[in-house]
Homo-oligomer: A and B are copies of this chain.
Amino acid sequence: MKLITAIIQEDKLDDVREALIQADITRITVSRVAGHGRQDDIDIYRGQQIAPSLIAKIEMKIACNDEFVNIAVDTILKTARHGEGTIGDGKIWITPIEECIRIRTGEKGGSAI
């Protein structure tokens, strides 16, 4: 089992979520984060342009069985990109999961995903 963590742009949340559901990956957990990378995002304050030091992003976590990893990653890659890819589109990383448990039933392992 793997944990896929994707940092994406705010406005892509709906698209990615729907694409994942289409690909039969229906269980996800999402949260608000802020990132520092190469992107800029300008606000105006009384005539001055100010760039925040951190930019709002969405973090998406998907716990999935090994055979689903590629599908999930591909789906995200396809839908989270702006056009041909824009700075700030984000990142995905994959970490190993040793055990997974469904709280409702107590089931463990792959079937609990």
Q: Which residues of A contact B (CB under 8 A)?
A: 1-3, 6-8, 14, 17, 21, 26-38, 53-54, 57, 59, 61, 63, 73, 76-77, 80-81, 85-106, 112
Nearest 6 A-B pairs (CB), nearest first? A85-B104, A31-B33, A89-B104, A89-B103, A94-B99, A92-B101
The CA of A38 and the CA of B28, in the complex, are separated in Å by: 10
Q: A76-B103, A80-B103 are in contact. Are A29 and B59 (CB under 8 A)?
A: yes
Kindly state the separation between the CA atoms of A92 and B1 in the bound complex, as whole angstroms: 13
Given contacts A27-B36, A35-B29, A91 and B95 within 8 Å (CB-CB): no
Partner of A57, one of B14, B26, B29, B73: B29
